[in-house]
Structure 1
Amino acid sequence: MKIKKNMIKGILLTTIVSFLAKIAADYLPSLGGEAIAMLLGILIGNTVFKDEKWMPGIKWAEKFPIEIGIALMGLTVTLRTISSLKIQGVIFILFQMMATILFVLWVGRRFIKVPSESAMLMASGNAVCGSSAIAAVAPAIRASDDQRRTAVATVSLSGVVLLFLLPVIGPNIFHGNNLLIGALIGGTVQSVGQVVGTASLVNQAVVTYATLFKMLRVILLSVVVFVFARFADRTRADEIKTDSKKVAVPWFVIVFIIFVFINSFFNLSNTVNTGAKSIANFFGIVNLAGIGLNLKWQTVKNSGQKFMIYGLVTVCFQILFAVLMINVLFG
């Protein structure tokens, strides 16, 4: 995405927060640069830098650098690493996504009593990739702007809850098994950036595994859009035109896969691997700084009590079901 003039201030602010967090991490190694960046972002984003003029750049910094970082992570992964997920990993993601979608639709209709469009947006956002999935599904089901914004706010806040919980829950449940912790994070956390941010609060091996599990979910986005579009067709009397065929795999997923093949079949120097890892790590800090700066108390308020309950119930279900499936498939 092109950087516009009104974005420069926010981008610079996010970058400065990231550098400060990286420096502070040398003195607070138990917290790490990622956690410090997010906490510092939340603090100053709701006090000193809460003016709307900072938001365009902060939102850019939260989204796009991490996409480059994820693409570069392909240079640190080989096909042998991916093969470690085995067929159990694919089955886990398929069951986790299907169960999340069915649960969110059921709770939304039966207990929370939200419109079917809102339920489908919540289901896609939680099951696939957060706001990106919501943005893709919304036009396909003719959801209103208010429904879309509310779903994005709720799903984003749910992701923040998981960001705080999973780095504690994962290592305690799976006793330092990086593959299983990565499965838990990659199979539940909503946005790609939040997956990397959450996993980085554990260690870099978990980042690699969590990213791989998350990629499987992202690749299935077009399937989810198509299914919801067809479902919306059947629940409306008028014909709904959908752009589901236009939904494509994100560019960074494609580049990631290309880099994995390059790294698997060619002997790349340690400089390339180390450089890619360092850049990806710093962009992960930038991502969490952006998440912190962008998390406004007003966003929490706007989500409303009903949707906050909806989001928290969904998060609890995702964690419990993921832990169950991981124990069954990998136990």
Structure 2
Amino acid sequence: MKIKKAHLVGIALVLVVSFVGEFLSRYLPQLGAESLAMIIGILLGNTIFTDSKYGAGIKWSEKYPIEIGIALLGSTLTFKTLSKLGLNGVAFIIINMILVITTVFLLGKYLFKVDSQSTMLMGAGNAVCGSSAIAAVAPAIQAKDDDRRTAVATVSLTGMLLLLTLPTLSHFFFGDNNLLRGALVGGTVQSVGQVVGTASLINSNVVTYATLFKLLRVIMLVFVVVLFAYLAKRDRIKAGTEAADAKAGKITILPWYIIVFAVLIIVNSLAALPSSVHQFSHTISSFFGVVNLAAIGLNLKWTVIKKSGVKFLSFGFVVGASQVILALILIKIFF
């Protein structure tokens, strides 16, 4: 995690792109700072800033800040979130996440023929919290960097489409019912920032409800990482790429930031942390999310995008549409 001299120029570039994304998001709130930073990064990384001297710093920015952001996010959450949503709200989110992950696995295996690691990244990104979930799952399943970047880009683009369509769609199905509109937004949109951005296009009450539903999905991140780590290890054992005497039931040690994330949730639930800590953690976590997308954009080359092609983007968009359909059905059932 130590910053070396060779990292400085790349880190500086990532920070500039991140701040530009934050600035432009004031005028384009419907896109959000994360999406803008990623788009700017892709454009600049494939045109002006292609020199290898930026590579080390960009790669550093892609890995370490988001880990700190994920860890700090735990201090903004509490198990009291569960009680605020009630049994129906909790059941809706948990069942919705299970169905989304199952749908992603089925579509990836049988329709789009995507490898299991990419499928897990897509499942985590869509079911939990976008790029943060992908960043948490990737090392646990030993995913390739290019697969991680492609998954982040696809999930982020899908989130942008939902951001632009859900305000109208939620009104069509649920009228002015803020709780149900919040459930749809909070239960489907990928990143925390995109959830808030989407809900803010409706009204402040929907922002509150959508955020609560989204935070419950974020709390489930630990369980998703454990599950996917187990599945990935089992696949490696079956393929003969894991040690011959390894046990399929043994889980790879969780990354430090997932452990800190879980500990902070417990601490904040038992003894509420000061609001200043919540605000600081939320601000840093949100900005590091923008930094992560800026770095991924700068590192995501046209060749990788071309390689993933229409198939992977179609996979992402079909998953996004499936999420919305599943959420609509479950909302009708539980509410």
TM-score category of the 2 structures, normalised to the smaller one: 0.7 to 0.9
The residue number in structure 2 matching 1:80 is 80
Give, in whole Å, the separation in 2 of the partners of 1:23 and 1:54: 23
Mapped pair 1:16 → 2:20? no
C-alpha contact 2:140 2:228 (8 A) present in aligned 1: no
**Distance 1:134-1:70 versus aligned 2 partners, 3 A rule:** closer
1:82-114 deviations in Å (ceiling 9; x for gaps):
4334444554455445444544444455444x4
Cα RMSD (Å)? 3.8
Q: Choose the corresponding residue for 1:169, options 165, 168, 174.
A: 165
Instruction: Note the residue ranges of structure 2 that are not aligned, 5 or more in a row.
Output: 125-132, 172-177, 201-206
Number of equivalences? 309
Structure 1 residue 249: deviation in Å?
Answer: 3.9
Specify the code of the residue in structure 2 equivalent to 1:80: K
CA distances 1:282-327 after superposition (whole Å, capped 9, x unpaired): 3233233234333332221021444444444334333432443344
CA distance in 1, matches of 2:36, 2:105: 36
Q: Determine helix, strand or coil for the equivalent of 1:220.
A: helix
TM-score, with structure 2 as normaliser: 0.72
Aligned to 1:245: 250
Out of 221, 228, 245, the residue aligned to residue 224 of structure 1 is 228
Q: Secondary structure at the match of 1:245?
A: coil
Give the counterpart of 1:199 among 195, 199, 210. 195
**Aligned residue among 116, 121, 127 for 2:123:** 127
Aligned mates of 2:296, 2:246 — CA distance in 1: 34
* Residue 155 of structure 1 pairs with residue 151 of structure 2: yes
In structure 2, how many angstroms separate the alpha carbons of the residues matched to 1:310 and 1:32?
23
Q: Which residue number corresponds to residue 183 of structure 1?
A: 187
Relative to 1, partners in 2 of residues 1:231 and 1:327: Cα closer, same or farther, differing over 3 Å? Answer: farther
CA drift of 1:270 comes to 4.2
Q: Which stretch shows the higher mean deviation, 27-36 or 208-217?
A: 27-36
Encode CA deviations 1:106-155: one digit per residue, 9 max, x unaligned. 4455444x4xxx542233222224365355345xxxxxx9xx56744542
Change (3 A) 1:207 1:254: farther
Contact preservation (8 Å) 2:31, 2:160? no
Q: Is residue 154–residue 316 contact of structure 2 (8 Å, CA) maintained in 1?
A: yes
Aligned counterparts of 1:309 and 1:60: Cα–Cα separation in 2: 30
Matched, 1:136 2:152: no
CA distance in 1, matches of 2:333, 2:89: 12
Assess if the C-alpha contact under 8 Å between 1:164 and 1:198 holds in 2: yes
Shift of 1:216: 0.8
2:290 aligned to 285, 288, 302, which one?
285
How far residue 164 of structure 1 moved from its aligned partner, in angstroms, is: 1.1
Distance 1:107 1:30 in 2: 29
Deviation of 1:45 after TM superposition, in Å, equals: 2.5
2:33, 2:290 within 8 Å by CA — same for their partners in 1? yes
Structure 2 equivalent of residue 61 of structure 1: 61
- Cα 1:169–1:265 shift into 2, 3 Å: same
Instruction: Give 3-state SS (helix, strand or coil) of 1:84's partner.
Output: helix
Q: Which amino acid aligns with 1:254?
A: I
Q: Is the 8 A contact 2:76 2:282 kept in 1?
A: yes
Question: Which of residues 302, 306, 326 is equivalent to 1:297?
Answer: 302
Q: Which residue of 1 aligns with 2:130?
A: none
Give CA deviations for 1:14-37 in whole Å, capped at 9, x if unaligned.
Answer: 112222333445566666544443
% identical aligned pairs: 34
What is the letter of the counterpart of residue 123 of structure 2?
Answer: A
1:175-218 Cα offsets, whole Å, 9 max, x none, are 55445422212xxx4xxxxx234335335755564243033144
